[in-house]
A and B are shown apart, each in its own frame.
Chain A
Amino acid sequence: MSLLAPPRPARESVRRPRTALRGSLAVVVLLALLVLLAFASLMWGARDIAPADVWAALVSPVTGGNDHGVVRNERVPRTLIGLVAGAALGAAGALMQGVTRNPIADPGLLGLNSGASLAVIVAIAGFHVTSVDGYVWFAFLGAGVAALIVYGAASMGWEGVTPVKLALVGAAVTATATSLITVVLLMDRNTLREFRFWQVGSLANRSLDALTSVLPFVAVGLLVALAAGRVLNALALGDDVARGLGQDVTRGRLLVVLAVVLLCGSAVSLVGPIAFVGLVVPHVARAVVGPDYRWIVALSMLIGPLLLLAADVIGRLVVAGELEAGLVVAFVGAPVLLALVRGSRSVAA
């Protein structure tokens, strides 16, 4: 701090600590909730298992013990996958809304979900893959190719990458991919039979191997996301102002998009196209900590898994045959979104 620096406006000096305080408090509360929810996810399901047995299954498992097997082979993988995919989707959503300056942007907007879906269709119809684990690399590849097309096409033309162009090209790629998917599904009944279950999104029947294979990508994506808060704060003021503040807008935007591709590509390949988490979570985070993207991204990483895992647990409890997490997320998340939107005083259209 130079002595020549102008005195800070009083309002800002009051506000900063308050955001930090609220943010830190929220992080602590959310972490505690996540731990509780993760444990609940290990306990509850088609067969309820007592807390002591869950603990025993984790620290000193008995081979052949039926409950221990359920916990270790079924509930631990889906809980971990829920945590990782939720964090990835939440962070990706915050990044997308920041980089496109559009509050209705979700991680699927770059065409990632539809690219992944198309690749899964190819896997089912072309290569006769039927296990969910087998879809992982197809989905990841499809998401990556779609993002490449979207970013490439949006960066051509007169002004380079603008938020509007990103959004429109993303929608265009989604529409094209959806058309191709529909043709296949309408002609090939067997593919539809498999694909409709992948399409709704679920945490069940995934192995830990699938998780470990995409984990490095998620880790890199999350680190970039945490570092991107400053860039997003600058971008929120508009490209010109951001440039004036010394930000390299093009590079910043490219880096953020790369992180979205890593995060959302991993999440889609793990749990299917559940974009809604990425849409609603940043709004909740914004309602808690205000407009600072450094905090929004961080909180989104915690609220995302909370929502996804809660949806999965609820889906196991409400009906006998289990409801997929991707279906429940909308029923849990939409009322939250509506309440937030209704409560917000923002008048800006």
Chain B
Amino acid sequence: MSALLVPDAERDTTPADVARAGLRTTRLRRRARTFATTLTLVVVAAAVAVTALMLGDYPLSATDVVRALVGLDDGPARIVVFDFRLPRVVLGILVGVAFGLAGALFQSVLRNTLASPDVIGVSQGASAGAVGALLLAGVTGFWVSVAAFAGGAAVGLLLYAVSWRGGMTGYRFVLSGIGVAYVCTSVVGYLLTRSDVQEAQAALLWMTGSVAQADWPLVTTLAVALAALVPLVVLVARGLDLLLLGDEQSAGLGLRPELTRAAVIALGVALACAATAAAGPVAFVALIAAPVARRLLGDGSLALVQSALVGVVLVTGADLVAQHLLPALLPVEFSVPVGVVTGAIGGPYLIWLMAAGRTCTS
């Protein structure tokens, strides 16, 4: 009623209008920031990938690389790019996506910033499997990957068995996972101390995580696994968004919180297992990707896409450093595995982000 009494000139600026306008600006600004962040990450990832394809014993220019990629070049550049360099780069990208997504899924569904595959036992299970295969069975290559996948998956199943009691709570899952992780670490420690030091070093190399062993069959296998898993992630993402409102609210909106949680965790385990089987437990990528992505966005959203992109940038960037920068700095001939660099770069970056950041949205 009173609104009718207000002269027209003043009606334009009622508090409700001001609020609405403010909300609109905030929303626009937020959308712009999300878009800019995502675009920047894509551009950085592409730049890193192209740089990785340019560098090596047979240097190529950026145009050479692009021409070879789109099929305009039939000369040696094509062979260098496709046969030697591209598998490694693509493996890095796939591993980055898988670890980034796995970390983001675990951390949001378990509501614990520390809950990443390397904390809740999946990586340790895979390590125990792989190190067992390397040191006890004496196998290499493909079968190590199989053993790693089996180890990680076994831990995942065990955790379900232990923590499923008419439903799944994050707290039970995380704590059980840490317990299992320590058991697996002990198994690895036992094997390392009881074996020949040269073999122990080979096992340690696997546990550091590396993409140097990349070839097309390996890349194809991981790509097929991700092609099956990523669409499922897209499917559960909406449910996960609702789940973050709390069990009761999400149940009120028609969600079955326990089933959703179980599905998200299963996907996280599968992604982490696949990536670990292909490249070893590349340190820190899964733990850091989501907190970094969320801090870059700063809007409290799930940031699944951005987490995957941060994972890609981290793994490919770290491998670039490991392959071309570090060997020049080290005193002896030594091919640096990427897992060393992800920790050495990611760690200080996260510290800087924490120390310099203004908001805490992780």
Q: Do A and B come from one complex?
A: yes
Which residues of chain B are near A347, meaning CB under 8 Å?
169, 171, 247
Known contacts A179-B344, A326-B186, A337-B179; decide if A168 and B169 are in contact (CB<8 Å): no
Which residues of chain A are near B182, meaning CB under 8 Å?
276, 279, 329-330, 333-334
Known contacts A168-B350, A185-B201; decide if A156 and B355 are in contact (CB<8 Å): yes
Known contacts A171-B287, A192-B197; decide if A158 and B357 are in contact (CB<8 Å): yes
Q: Could you tell me the distance between the alpha carbons of A171 and B112 in the complex, rounded to whole angstroms? A: 13
Residue of A nearest to B356 (CB): A157
Pairwise interchain contact B283-A175, C-beta atoms closer than 8 A: yes
Pairwise interchain contact A180-B204, C-beta atoms closer than 8 A: no
**Inter-chain contact total with CB atoms closer than 8 Å:** 193
Known contacts A103-B175, A153-B351; decide if A164 and B190 are in contact (CB<8 Å): no
Which residues of chain B are near A335, meaning CB under 8 Å?
179
Cβ of A182 under 8 Å from chain B: yes
Of residues A103, A168, A344, which shows the largest number of chain B Cβ atoms within 10 Å of its Cβ? A168
Pairwise interchain contact B165-A342, C-beta atoms closer than 8 A: yes
Interface residues on A, range: 35 or more
Interface residues on B, range: 35 or more
Q: How far is the CB of A260 from chain B (nearest CB, A)?
A: 17
Q: Could you tell me the distance between the alpha carbons of A280 and B181 in the complex, rounded to whole angstroms? A: 13
Residue of B nearest to A340 (CB): B175
Pairwise interchain contact A179-B347, C-beta atoms closer than 8 A: yes
List A residues 302-349 near B (Cβ within 8 Å): 323-324, 326-331, 333-335, 337-338, 341-342, 344, 346-349
Pairwise interchain contact B355-A153, C-beta atoms closer than 8 A: yes
Pairwise interchain contact B193-A341, C-beta atoms closer than 8 A: no
List B residues 144-191 near A (Cβ within 8 Å): 162-163, 165, 169-172, 174-176, 178-180, 182-183, 185-186, 189-190
Pairwise interchain contact B113-A183, C-beta atoms closer than 8 A: no
Pairwise interchain contact A180-B119, C-beta atoms closer than 8 A: no
Q: How far is the CB of B351 from chain A (nearest CB, A)?
A: 5
Cβ of B55 under 8 Å from chain A: no
Pairwise interchain contact A176-B343, C-beta atoms closer than 8 A: yes
Pairwise interchain contact B171-A158, C-beta atoms closer than 8 A: no
Q: How far is the CB of A280 from chain B (nearest CB, A)?
A: 7
Known contacts A102-B114, A347-B169; decide if A176 and B193 are in contact (CB<8 Å): no
Pairwise interchain contact A180-B172, C-beta atoms closer than 8 A: no
Which residues of chain B are near A179, meaning CB under 8 Å?
283, 339-344, 347
Known contacts A164-B362, A169-B351, A280-B179; decide if A175 and B193 are in contact (CB<8 Å): no
Q: Could you tell me the distance between the alpha carbons of A283 and B171 in the complex, rounded to whole angstroms? A: 12
Which residues of chain A have a CB within 8 Å of any CB of chain B? 102-105, 109, 149, 153-154, 156-159, 162, 164-165, 167-169, 171-176, 178-180, 182-183, 185-187, 189, 192-193, 196-197, 199-200, 276, 279-280, 283, 323-324, 326-331, 333-335, 337-338, 341-342, 344, 346-349
- Give the 4 A-B CB pairs with smallest separation, nearest first: A176-B347, A349-B170, A179-B343, A175-B343
